[in-house]
Structure 1
Amino acid sequence: MDKFIVSARKYRPQNFNTVIGQSHITTTLKNAIKNNQLAHAFLFCGPRGVGKTTCARILAKTINCENKTPDGEACNTCNSCVSFDNGTSLNIHELDAASNNSVDDIRTLVEQIRFAPQAGKYKVYIVDEVHMLSTSAFNAFLKTLEEPPPFAIFILATTEKHKILPTILSRCQIFDFKRITNQDTVDHLREICEKENINADDTALHVIAQKSEGCLRDALSILDKIVSFTNGELTYANTLEHLNILDEDYYFRFMDAMQNQSISDAILLYDEINRKGFEGDLVLNGFAEFIRNLLVSKDPKVAMLLEVSEGFKQRYLDVALKANASLLLSALNILNEAEINYRQARNKRLHVELTLIKLCYIEQAIELVNEGDHLNKKKQVESMKPVAFKALTPIAFKEKAPQGNKVSENIRAASGNKKNNIQTPEDKAKLIIEEKLVKPIIPKASADHTRVANGRTHTKIGRLEKIQEQVALENKQNENNIKELNEEELYVAWGLYIEELRKKNNHSGVTNFKSAKLGIVDNNCIEIITDNNIQQKFIETERAALIEHLQAHFNNRFLTYKVIVIENENKVVLEKPLTTKDQYLKIIEEYPLIKQLKDRLGLQLDY
């Protein structure tokens, strides 16, 4: 039994003509070999699995070939080519920089470069994953890379060009490899299937190419797995099953539900997908890509960007003709936002279902208006109509009411209109409220007494009058207890409030309240002067509590204050001595108990 070799190794290109999708590089290298214009250092950079190491090996084999073809290809028959194919050539050295990235490894490499090749013209050193070298290893490699011996050629390969030092880049001839297109991948896979006698659908091969995302090595690995899974029969269905990819037919059904505004079809279809084990973000991402393909299909100029199999291409074009571009853009925006917020959603299923509901109702949310040659979106908020309710029929009460009651008259009038088949606009829906019989209020006599039927006398005072009398009485009492508003008492109240702020650990408030200056406008208004807006904001945040405190201290509920900001840009801070009065006011602001001590002792201060 022969040993199995994976397709990526078995069908690895052996000359430049068999390299897939990199003609811009292979042509340059062949011309350089043919014209004897080889650089001493090359840097091959690009995505994984696109042929960097393969081209490096072909270049190393070709430049040492003894019988090159006229177009610059290796003959594959001479001793040098045969020894290279068998892996016994002494002129080619490969170094994996991922595992040999130290300074000592590079120094060992530099020492080997001094020896000339015993057979052949060049010694080629291929350093793969060169970006993994340490900074010190790069520095040790600089001088040799700049001025190597005439027989030494370096080929560096990397997937991350930005990690390489600029000093290395400037010493190399750089070749940028590109991703393999889907069509090139499909053609190469079909060629391999023919050689291996594998029955494969073109649609299945196209799915493999899309899944590989431009990496030919990944495409060949996927092909090997599916061949083992299906025993050499590649169909569209078993390829989707193996790769866990959602069938595009589901997206066409989602589009039909969206255009028909059928929420039930969309949710049932998502439930079917969910039971198959597909995650919601895969559905959102796939549907967004589907709508992108529809947008691409609408314009013949960009239809070439539609990378789908031939079996689906015509179907895309037919659906794109029926869909409006503005609606597709709005749907794409909704799907993009839903995909971004998917990870943060706790209920993933509900998040996807809400997105599908929005998509089904998108035509009701916006209206397309023709303005010149373009279609513009317009919200339908202005044209929304209120819900029409059913007309209510009047209900007649059979309850007897006293004479003079308006309710009985209204009922009799309503029933009379009904008998005579007379319908007024008000009869369509009428709310009938029964009015209670209230005895008329007798005006208050001079002595505030009213005599009733049983001969007793009662005092009749309305509730509103009672409240007004109580408020007036309280105001009179408060006016008698109002403290006189003077500067000394004001600073005492101010200091007490500062103490309350200190108890609350509001140190910023204490600092700003201390720096404020106080003044009296009139008996019911206080003026607070601050130096800047910051102090003003601190005082304003305490407005409610401060007014309550001042009104309680002076027993004056009409007392209020205003804050004034006086900023002096050219203010120079000078330490001037405080007057005796200023010193006293500052002391009682800090220690309000001193004021109480002065009042109890009856002291009179001489300012």
Structure 2
Amino acid sequence: MDKFIVSARKYRPQAFDTVVGQQHITTTLKNAIQHNQLAHAFLFCGPRGVGKTTCARILAKTINCENLQPDGEACNECNSCKSFNDGISLNIHELDAASNNSVDDIRSLVEQVRFAPQAGKYKVYIVDEVHMLSSSAFNAFLKTLEEPPSYAIFILATTEKHKILPTILSRCQIFDFKRITNNDTVLHLEEIVQKEGIQAEKAALQVIAQKSEGCMRDSLSILDKIVSFTNGTVTYQNTLEHLNILDHDYYFQLLQYLLQQDLAAAMLLYDEINRKGFEGDLVLNGFAEFLRNLLVCVNEKAAILLDVVEGMQTKYISVAKSTSLSFLVSALNILNETEINYKMARNKRLHVEMAIIKLNFLQQAIELTTDNGSMVKKKRIDGPIAYKTKAINTLQAKQATTDSAAKPTAPKLLIEEQVTKKTATVKPFSAAPPQSQQSVTATVIPISTNTPTYNKATEPGNGSPKKSLLDGLRQKYGSEYLIEEIKEAEALETAKLKRLWEEYALKMDEQLKHSAANTFRMARLQIEADNFFTITVDALTQQKFIEQEKTLLVDFIQVGFNNRSISFKILVETSEQEELPAHLTMNSRQRFDKIAEMYPLVKELRDRLKLELDY
């Protein structure tokens, strides 16, 4: 029995024209060979299984071909081509960087570059998975990659271009390989099954192409497995069974039950799917993809984006026309949220069933109305919305003496003016200052229980000229209140900051904290921004003194500048670092050993009494 060779190796392309789905790269390479414009270093990057290493080998064989064809292809008949096809060519060296990623491996490769080829024009070095090289190996490779001998060509292949150093990228000619489309994959699979004499349905090959996700090697491996599983006959059903894929008929049926709000039928269908061994996340993902395809088919112009097996497009388009757009969008949101939380759910079946219940009543929850021929979501309330208002009670000042007789409660004050520009605080006082011209918001604090009521009849808009809230309050309470505007915050200013700093130092002297006060006077202040300054001291102990007062100090300065955003940072001069006393750096055991060394009787006392000290 002949040894079996997998299709991925048996049908590996041997010429540029046989490479699938990378015509933009193969055409560029052939033209470069024909016009003798080959770069000394190439970087082939792209997803797995799309032909990077294959193109590197074809390029290596073609540039050493002795009878190059007019179309830029190798002849496959000369000694160089035959030795390459047999795998015995001395001009081609392949290095797997995944397992040979050290500096020594690259140095060994660089040593080989010094020797010219014995036959042929070029020595080609193919480094696969080059992103696995260490940083040191990359650095050892830089000089040789930048200025190799005229006969040396490097071809680097990688699936993760972002991991390669920019210094390597700048020395290479970069080719980006793209994923192979499903149509190209299906055409290539049809050629292979025809050569192998395998009976295969086109729908089955389309499912294989979708499952491979643009990787030709994966699609050929899947085809080999299914051929072995089905004994040479590849059908749509056995392909679904082997690849553990849910048929779209299940999704069409589930959607029908949900639109009919037949919850029992939908739950029984999910139970049937679950008993077949399909996990909940697979069902959620598949149904979301199914609804996405329906959403795409709502507009027939976008139906070209539909990636399903042949013959299913018509059914998708017809079902999409009979399904509301709002249902599809809302259902996709529910499925997306359910899939995100699926891993955290302890009862995963119940988690999926809850999503089905939501989808079942989704059609009932979404109410639509027609507005000029377009579908819009119906508003919850068409008329005016009522809302509650609550009266603001005035605050009563504390009475000097208590009166046993009941007194009437203070009247309620309704403030209905619009809040504008600034805020003012109203405090009890005997006289009022000059009236401000700006509208402000005010807080009223009466000093007696006989406070007149602010009547709405005097509001602006009721026959009187428009007044601000503050003007109205002054008109009613001008003789009883002091109305002051909140002062603007001040930016830091050097002279005032030093004055406040000196005042705080004097307060420290009054509290008999003379050491801390002297530290404050020795500190150097530097304003860095409008609300930030630095304090520079000469020793760690001085920093500790200021940090102990930090809370009160920052409040004192903020009040002085009327600016609550002011902050500071304490810096210690690095040139003079204070050495801490030795006893502050010792632990309990070290301190006892030091005392015992100085006073031996202490140790003798511990030994005679057999004391066990708790260090």
Map of 2:331 onto structure 1: 331
Contact 1:368 1:377 in 2 (8 A): yes
Amino acid at match of 1:140: A
Q: 1:101 to 1:576 in 2, by over 3 A?
A: closer
Structure 2: runs of 5 or more not aligned: 384-403, 405-488, 491-499, 513-615
Provide closer, same or farther for how the CA distance between residues 147 and 313 of structure 1 changes in structure 2, counting only shifts above 3 A.
Answer: same
Query: Deviation of residue 297 (structure 1)?
Result: 1.2
SS in 1 for 2:219: helix
RMSD over aligned CA atoms reads 2.3
Distance 1:302 1:57 in 2: 40
1:270 aligned to 2:270? yes
User: When the two structures are aligned, how many residues end up with a matched partner?
Assistant: 400
1:220 to 1:366, Cα distance in 2 relative to 1, 3 A: same
SS at match of 2:321: helix
Q: Answer whether contact 2:300 2:317 (CA < 8 A) is retained.
A: no
The equivalences for 1:454-603 within 5 A come to 572-573=503-504, 574-575=507-508, 577=510
Asked if 1:225 corresponds to 2:225, the answer is: yes
CA-CA distance at 1:335 after TM superposition = 0.6
Partner of 2:476: none
C-alpha deviations, 1:186-222, integer Å up to 9, x for none?
1111111111111111111111111111111000001
Partner of 1:285: 285
1:379 deviates by 6.1
Q: Are the equivalent residues in 2 in contact too, given 1:364–1:380 (CA < 8 A)?
A: no
Bigger share in helix: 1
Cα gap change, 1:341/1:379 in structure 2, threshold over 3 Å: closer, same or farther? farther
Deviation, 1:299, is 1.6
Mapping 1:231-246, distance limit 5 Å: 231-246=231-246
Contact 1:367 1:380 in 2 (8 A): no
Aligned equivalents of 2:295, 2:61: Cα separation in 1: 48
Q: 1:425 is matched with which residue?
A: none
Deviation at 1:361, TM superposition (A): 1.0
Report the CA distance between 1:314 and its aligned residue: 1.3
* 1:285 Cα deviation after fit: 0.3
Return the TM-score normalized by structure 2: 0.63
Aligned to 1:252: 252
Q: Secondary structure at the match of 2:292?
A: helix
Distance of 1:39 and 1:158 partners within structure 2: 18
Residue 189 of structure 2 is matched in structure 1 by: 189
Partner of 1:102: 102
| 1:128 shift after superposition | 0.3
Deviating above 4 A after TM superposition, structure 1's stretches of 4 or more consecutive aligned residues are 379-383, 568-572
1:5: Cα distance to partner? 0.1
Structure 2 distance, partners of 1:368, 1:27, is: 55
Note closer, same or farther for the CA distance 1:578–1:284 as it changes in structure 2 (3 Å cut). Answer: closer
What residue in structure 2 maps to residue 52 of structure 1? 52
- Alignment-derived partner of residue 88 in structure 2: 88
Deviation at 1:238?
1.0
Structure 1 contact 297–320 (Cα < 8 Å) conserved: yes
**Secondary structure at 1:175 match in 2:** strand
Mark the CA change 1:362 to 1:85 in structure 2 (over 3 Å): closer, same or farther: same
Greater Rg over alpha carbons, structure: 1
Map Cα deviations across residues 523-562 of structure 1 (whole Å, 9 max, x no partner): xxxxxxxxxxxxxxxxxxxxxxxxxxxxxxxxxxxxxxxx
User: What is the one-letter code of the residue matched to 1:575?
Assistant: M
Q: Corresponding residue for 2:165? A: 165
8 Å Cα contact 2:131/2:158 also seen in 1: yes
**Which residue number in structure 2 is paired with residue 129 of structure 1?**
129
Deviation at 1:118, TM superposition (A): 1.2
Secondary structure (helix, strand or coil) at the match of 2:118 reads coil
Q: How far off its partner does 1:65 sit?
A: 0.7
In structure 1, the residue matched to 2:63 is: 63
Segments of 5+ residues of structure 1 without an aligned counterpart are 384-478, 480-567, 580-607
- Measured against aligned partners, the alpha-carbon deviations of 1:328-374 in whole angstroms (never above 9, x if no partner) come to 11111111011001111111111111111111111111112334464
The aligned amino acid for 2:39 is A
Question: Cα deviations across residues 223-263 of structure 1 (Å, max 9, x unaligned)?
Answer: 00110011011111111111111111100001101111111
Match of 2:71, SS state, is: coil
The 2-side partners of 1:81 and 1:379 are apart by 75
> Is 1:56–1:126's contact at 8 Å kept on the other side of the alignment?
yes
Q: Give yes or no for contact 1:297–1:316 (8 Å, CA) kept in 2.
A: yes
Percent identity of equivalent pairs: 74
Q: Distance in 2 between matches of 1:162 and 1:64?
A: 32
Cα deviations by residue, 1:439-480 (Å, 9 ceiling, x for unpaired) = xxxxxxxxxxxxxxxxxxxxxxxxxxxxxxxxxxxxxxxx9x
Q: Distance in 2 between matches of 1:372 and 1:155?
A: 63
Match in the other structure for 1:315: 315
Does the CA contact (< 8 Å) of 2:295 and 2:320 recur in 1? yes
Query: Does structure 2 retain, via aligned residues, the 8 Å contact 1:254–1:269?
Result: yes
TM-score by length of structure 1 reads 0.64
